Structure 1
């Protein structure tokens, strides 16, 4: 759990003994959801979530939200905090979508390793939350897709101005389960292998999440947690900054490919529902009544946010709203353990435990 690790990070070693300085995140309760009501505004369906412990959020919207609807490759300006238009590369497509309808971004892999579907996205924060759906039309383990020097895929990478970076990388010659996490130039030890927990998958939509928090300088306490289809893939800590490379990460990339690909093959990467924010606060919709069971979960788009009320634009995907549940995550990564059900007004929400639990 994020909160538990914060306690460990505040541990002090004196005289051979380990002393813990408890942080305030240990005593904060998880968000309490008391009710969820539906309303229509401007022709769109919204949910008003009432309760407590949601915390304040400086900007209700995520920094960026891309849904690629209405034939647009830019972020959805109405539901993104960053209003300057940021355009992606590729084409709008409806031939393969994660929920069976709507539009997605389709990018054709190029020989040029600098060609990417989503150019570097800038952020200025010590933390980042990223949610997205992705589908590869190819397998990196298939040698017929390789260029003359193989196939090197950095599926996600975050860079700092001083060159330190962290990435999830695969090598075609090592197979689909060759994934590793590596904080380049700052790692203590070698790469962290994620193997079959985070495979490079051909022909299937996946639900991916990244939870990042910067490390202190020369301290191994940075967070780079990964979730694949709702399952935790990685949750240990990294040294991300050193005295020689002190800057925090500030630019996010998707799918940087080097060593080329076979120019006679057409390889696609598809993206949808890209949600990027500089806080861990978020809202999920799921078809499971408890968060432990909520592996399939779709991030919702906050429109208003206060400590006791959150309004979101409903994105139901392929979930049936009347049998779906809402989960609210606060700034420390705590979440209501039991989901609040979306149903008629006479349908009670399940009670929430008084004790805070961590997101992980």
Structure 2
């Protein structure tokens, strides 16, 4: 980035966009959306979305398929029209200098008979100043496969190459729509390190992903979309504290547990800890909620006291995935009872 871009994009932003939330970022935001609306026929893809993204922060956007994430990215990058007030660097999206923006859409099919190196060279050539192609390929883990045709690459290698084309111009603001889809663990780590390095250098990153661990690791703030509306937003740890629920201890048994067994375990936990526990039977055994690490032994004694023979125990704290499931449900249906499958193509389809 040149000195002007660094000054514009530099800074740090950690905190939430909840109404009246104490996490609100300071200074003029890089991205603003107020009352953003977009409809495809009778489907409201975006239904009054409000958000802002501070300079230098990684902002995560999550939600089920068909919730409107890609439509919002397209509206903010000026690739689709939407109602409401949308500003990027203080201007309407279509008036922003394209060299300041990097975009990796959800669906991107570059020429198949170009090599990874040729593709990065081509997209770098669209700008007056671009990063060194070899350095970019190395950043995304494609240095060893740079001379392979795009059509011969694996799905993960293709996605890494696409990420390279999105960052070759050294953007001040980078939109990444599902950047690690289909990428193996090593490739994901390379992309994660790249995002962290870009943010540390002052790039503002707008990230959408279905990988909750990815968003929880990378994002300073998160907004969750459902039915085209923001239903929760804030720093990941804040969302987990507010919506994630209690820690849980899972006991895996040979078969499904009964409600009677769950009640017996609950009585044993109550006797040993004095709490009013939540114990539920699951397909794989029993789940005891609200067990802190220091109370695991007492919970195990309660299981033994109830005659529960278990194969293994696992304890976990709530995560952003628990927040996601709690606020959206494991099975997602759009308003009016339609499943997300039908409108998803219209709502979350995207092109470069």
Whichever of the two has the greater Rg, that structure is: 2
TM-score over 0.5 for the pair: no
More strand by share: 1
For normalisation by structure 2, the TM-score amounts to 0.27
More helix by share: 2
